[in-house]
Structure 1
Amino acid sequence: MLLYQGKDEDIHYAILYNVYGHELSFFLPYDMIFLKKLTVGTNCSTCQETFPQTGGAAMTKPNLNGHSVFPYAALAIILAIVLRQIGFRVEGVFEWVCSVIRSSIYIGMFSIWGVFIRRRIIQPRVRCYLTTISALMVFWVSVRTLRFLFADDPGTLRYLWYMYYLPMLFIPFLAVFVALSLGKPESSSLPKWTTFLYIPTAALLLLVLTNDLHQLVFAFPANASVWKNDYRYAMGYFLIAGWQMLCAFTALTIMLIKCRTPNSRKVLMLPFVPVILTLIYSVLYIFRVPWLKSIAGDMTVVFCLLFAATLESCIQCGLIQSNTHYDDLLARCTMGIQLTDPDYHSLLTSDFVRPVPEEVMEQTQTGPVQLDGGLRLSGADIHGGHVLWTEDVSELLAVLDDLRDAKKSLEDSNHLLQEEYALKTHEAHVAEQDRLYNRIQCETAVQINLLAKLTDEFEKAESEEKRKKLLGKMIVIGAYLKRRNNLIFLADKTPVLSERELSLTFAESISNLELYGVSCGFQMELSEPVAAAQMMAMYDFFEEVVERSLDSMSAVTVRIGKRMDALAITVNTDADNDFSVLSSNMITARQDEDGEWQISMCLCAGGEA
């Protein structure tokens, strides 16, 4: 849980706590100037996401001080060695009891080590891999115990022996995954190529488990009636040993590359000592040196202890970041901070803590408490008690006073600004309306004048038939003005309009032509948006054809589509007007043998007419 982050004379730090009993944990270094409370259990990967410049897990200060649990582990190992020597000198049930107790000691040791791993390692992915390694050690010792103390069938004994290679292969293999996971954010995952590492590991394990079929790992004499201990090592065994050592050295090398601690490289070479001892022991074991069996003949226990020693030394050297032994940092923290029990009795404090009565501490349950001298006391609940810290907010209080004065001044001027903004908004709206109306007047001036002329003629017409004809023309012109003005408004908002808008525009004009008595047809072949300028150009072209031939037109068809990636509109009409005068670089007009005109206009791509 991230409790406080601060800066003091270029010494950047972040205090984090992880409560196991009353144990505090810290990480160095970070740089922030504010308080932030996160969820209990925030781990290193979260800090890496917040402060990537620190280098992540490799920044932990190496801890070479001994843990209080180490002497007990040493005593347990000595006791197990003594029991093994006693077992050599007794027989029957006493030997069996000594072996059971010795196995129980090792199983308990590796189980407890796994529990300590879960408490100390804070990066979830690394913690998961290391916990799995401890479980594999427990499995290995358990299988060894079953083989030597409970099984007697030769086939069962042999296959229990083959099962040794499950932990023997996967412990160094998972160590590589531990190394690759160091320093990565919690949400990240390993590269996809790491999945292929399972293939050689699983293949070698399968090679061992099927040894009875091919004897490529352990070769037994051809004339042996029972395959038991009279074997020799085949090529597969050396492949397995090579893969184990390759994984081990690869994991340590990756850890060293990622490490950024300021300590001497000699200290960081400590994890290689148990690895080298493992290599020496393996060579001696393969050659079956006589004195090795009496001193360290239990290969399973020796390998498990050396593997655990390698990983533990990585933790102690800081290659694998742990969450222990940072109590001294709290005392040296320049911020007043303390941990209390549920009754607000102080347990751990920094050197800069200001004594505060327990009654005042309890008030932090509802929020920060303001103290004398510009200090503020804050608190939060944690597992097993409370954490409290003080902050000097005198400068902040002074700033708040200045802000109150500035707020009053701003409130006075804000009303004037709002009125000014409303006036400018209204003026801009009026100006925009004037601009649009001027554009409408300019682009539809011909039709407006024509409509006014038709209106005058309608008022002066005496016959009903002429008035009906004039009214039909006025409807056609009015429909054009309505739709053309609508296109102007839409084009002002967006330069591209839906093809549906084009279809509706022509449909309304054609509908009014039919009311006028013209037989009409309309075919829309576009299925994509059209530039507003092109849409208005096509509509203006159609309107010009209609206005020229309205008196003599009895039928008209309109087709809109594409012609060689260009927009095209074609109007066919039986009017007897001469449309050749419309011909230009974009417009073509021709008359067939029956006197029907076909007038077409093509618009280039790019949104221009």
Structure 2
Amino acid sequence: MPIDRKHRREMLFGAGAVLFSGIFRLVLEDTVISYHCILALILLTVYLIWLFSSRRRFPQRGMRRLLTASALLMMVWCIVKTIRYEFIPADSFLSRQIWYWYYFPVIMLPLLLLMATFYIGRTDSYELPAASPVAFIPATLLAAGIATNDLHQLAFRFEHGIPNTDDRYSYGPLYYCAIGSMIFCLCGILFKTLRGCTRKQFRRSFVIPAGVTTMAGLYLLLYTNDKNPLLFQRMYEFPDMTCLFFVSFWESLVMTHMLPSNDGHEEFFKASLINAGLADSEMNVVLHGENSPLPDKEQLKEAENGEVIKDGMLLKVQPVKGGYFYWAEDIRELQQINMQLEETRSYLEEENAMLDEAQHLEEGRRRTAEQNKLYDSISRRLKPNFDRLSERLEVLPDDEEGFRNSMKRAAIDAVFIKRCSNLLLLAGSDGYIDSGELALSVGESLGYLELSGIFGNAEIPRGKKLTADTVLLMYELFQAAVENALPALNAVMVTLDFGNGIDYRIELDNEDKPELSAFEKRTALLGGRISAESSDGSCFITFSVKGGGGE
């Protein structure tokens, strides 16, 4: 984004103030006039402007914190330097200590700005890794080592061995470590900057940052030249030049668009094509895009409580700090699509209703067909029993006792037909029948046998799932054994045990064994055995299946 007018004025004022301070010092350096306080005020103004400008222009919170710390460090350095030159004797212990502490900003400033370059090309929410503050530990130790130079003289070695600012001195390893850390950070800043820029940016825009870096490097190389200092060495002292270099380098990145800034957002907003704007707390529009609609206060107040749709435009309002942000969406095409979708929905609802009705009819037809098929199957299976019952009812004795006995026998046949039909219906819905259904069927048959004076008892446990074929076979076997023993039957006992599979026993007080040939094939298909034995005037019928027949 081009540099806006406000930032351009700030840059021109800063450049003019820096140039004036250099000329001012150059003119007054050989006079007895004290100029340090005036120069400090000028430079502090430049640093303060840069501080507020940086906080306004850069979106990343972490970068703003680092640049703020850098600007404050520059201002403290400038103030302390001025106090040393203006109010403290040059040969005092305090003056020498301030001189030592000059190297704290020398070490920290490059490190802070190096860390700030890591935000270039990152999102606004990016934060440095949690371990990044560890980098300040060696820097702090190095600055503390220079500050305690009087104890070891590893940074500055005085000619006569006694710390004295007026004495000649040479540089020690700590000094070169400080300069080395500064050069290392400068190289890191250049590397991170170059890595983030495109080839086109490098060809067109890197001249300005390279020129600023070249001048700073030249000043650093010639810093020890006290005999014949160059013009700009005389204009700016080392602390001032160091601070100005970092400010100039950072601004050169902004000028060449290698470092994006958040400046000029109003111009960007006005030139954008978005249908949005900003309103103050009184709902007065203060900023909006050139092509965006301009709603009135009533519409904005209404949209604050809910969406407003008018002439195909959807208006929304969101409170922000100091006012409201509104935006409008053209939903005319969406409304047309919604109308088409509504027509399609109505058509599909009608189609679905017709399909559901057809499906219900088909399901009813299929269910009726299945029921008819099941009823036909039950009718065919029980046809001999129906025929026998019909014959019995057609020819009834004339005497009362014979009529009563015939009706009792008809009732026994009828309950069998009823209960067998019920079991067949249960078998048609599921492949398994609970043993309790067998107990109910046998129990009801025994109840009708008692009307004929036949004692009966059944011990059949409930809650066991058995295959439908197994239950039907056991009930039909019971009915066949009873019919075979009538009318001489006086007692019948039925037991069912699930101890080791299925053990079904019928005991009759009649030695006549029923014909079991009709059950042998069905028993073999179930994997069981069937037998009938006579002993001591009783008949014992057994049906057993080892380890199976149910679930």
TM superposition score normalised by structure 1 = 0.55
Query: Do the aligned residues in 2 keep the contact of 1:64 with 1:316 (CA within 8 Å)?
Result: no
Rounded Cα–Cα distance in structure 1 between residues aligned with 2:362 and 2:119: 60
* Secondary structure of residue in 1 paired with 2:8: coil
- The answer to whether structure 1 residue 190 and structure 2 residue 128 are counterparts is yes
Give the alignment partner of residue 185 of structure 2, picking from 247, 269, 278: 247
Query: Do the aligned residues in 1 keep the contact of 2:159 with 2:167 (CA within 8 Å)?
Result: no
Q: How many angstroms does 1:136 deviate by? A: 1.7
* Secondary structure of residue in 2 paired with 1:232: strand
Rounded Cα–Cα distance in structure 1 between residues aligned with 2:18 and 2:428: 94
Give the alignment partner of residue 158 of structure 2, picking from 200, 220, 241: 220
Give the alignment partner of residue 97 of structure 2, picking from 131, 156, 159: 159
Give the alignment partner of residue 127 of structure 1, picking from 64, 77, 92: 64
| Equivalent residue runs for 1:309-458 within 5 Å | 309-339=248-278, 347-354=286-293, 360=299, 363-372=302-311, 374-383=312-321, 386-409=324-347
Task: Give the letter for the 1:208 counterpart.
Answer: I
Rounded Cα–Cα distance in structure 2 between residues aligned with 1:409 and 1:450: 56
- The answer to whether structure 1 residue 280 and structure 2 residue 225 are counterparts is no
State the structure with more CA Rg: 2
* Secondary structure of residue in 1 paired with 2:83: helix
| Equivalent residue runs for 1:485-524 within 5 Å | none
**CA 1:122–1:436 in structure 2 vs 1: closer, same or farther (change >3 Å)?**
farther
Task: Give the letter for the 2:246 counterpart.
Answer: F
Matched with 1:598 is: none
Q: Structure 2, unaligned stretches of length 5 or more? A: 368-425, 450-457, 468-497, 504-551
**CA 1:393–1:262 in structure 2 vs 1: closer, same or farther (change >3 Å)?**
farther
Q: How many angstroms does 1:306 deviate by? A: 0.6
Task: Give the letter for the 2:178 counterpart.
Answer: I
Q: How many angstroms does 1:395 deviate by? A: 0.9
Q: How many angstroms does 1:323 deviate by? A: 0.6
Rounded Cα–Cα distance in structure 2 between residues aligned with 1:243 and 1:410: 75
* Secondary structure of residue in 2 paired with 1:319: coil
**CA 1:317–1:140 in structure 2 vs 1: closer, same or farther (change >3 Å)?**
same
Give the alignment partner of residue 145 of structure 1, picking from 67, 72, 82: 82
Q: How many angstroms does 1:88 deviate by? A: 3.2
Rounded Cα–Cα distance in structure 2 between residues aligned with 1:435 and 1:229: 117
Q: How many angstroms does 1:319 deviate by? A: 2.6
Rounded Cα–Cα distance in structure 2 between residues aligned with 1:422 and 1:184: 62
Query: Do the aligned residues in 2 keep the contact of 1:344 with 1:362 (CA within 8 Å)?
Result: yes
Rounded Cα–Cα distance in structure 1 between residues aligned with 2:137 and 2:215: 28
Identity %: 23
Q: Which has the higher contact order (CA 8 A, sep 6+)?
A: 1
Superposed CA deviations along residues 483-514 of structure 1, whole A, max 9, x for unmatched, are x99xxxxxxxxxxxxxxxxxxxxxxxxxxxxx
Rounded Cα–Cα distance in structure 2 between residues aligned with 1:188 and 1:423: 64
Superposed CA deviations along residues 17-37 of structure 1, whole A, max 9, x for unmatched, are xxxxxxxxxxxxxxxxxxxxx
* Secondary structure of residue in 2 paired with 1:133: helix
Task: Give the letter for the 1:302 counterpart.
Answer: M
**CA 1:417–1:312 in structure 2 vs 1: closer, same or farther (change >3 Å)?**
farther
Matched with 2:194 is: 256
**CA 1:170–1:407 in structure 2 vs 1: closer, same or farther (change >3 Å)?**
same
Q: How many angstroms does 1:379 deviate by? A: 4.5
* Secondary structure of residue in 2 paired with 1:81: helix
Of residues 62-71 and 102-111 in structure 1, the stretch that sits farther from structure 2 once superposed is 62-71
**CA 1:438–1:291 in structure 2 vs 1: closer, same or farther (change >3 Å)?**
same
Query: Do the aligned residues in 2 keep the contact of 1:126 with 1:178 (CA within 8 Å)?
Result: yes
Task: Give the letter for the 1:143 counterpart.
Answer: V
- The answer to whether structure 1 residue 267 and structure 2 residue 205 are counterparts is yes
Give the alignment partner of residue 168 of structure 1, picking from 93, 98, 106: 106
Superposed CA deviations along residues 216-238 of structure 1, whole A, max 9, x for unmatched, are 22111235463555321123222
TM superposition score normalised by structure 2 = 0.60
Rounded Cα–Cα distance in structure 2 between residues aligned with 1:436 and 1:142: 101
Matched with 2:52 is: 115
| Aligned Cα root-mean-square deviation (Å) | 4.9
**CA 1:126–1:296 in structure 2 vs 1: closer, same or farther (change >3 Å)?**
same
- The answer to whether structure 1 residue 70 and structure 2 residue 5 are counterparts is no
Counting matched residue pairs gives 414
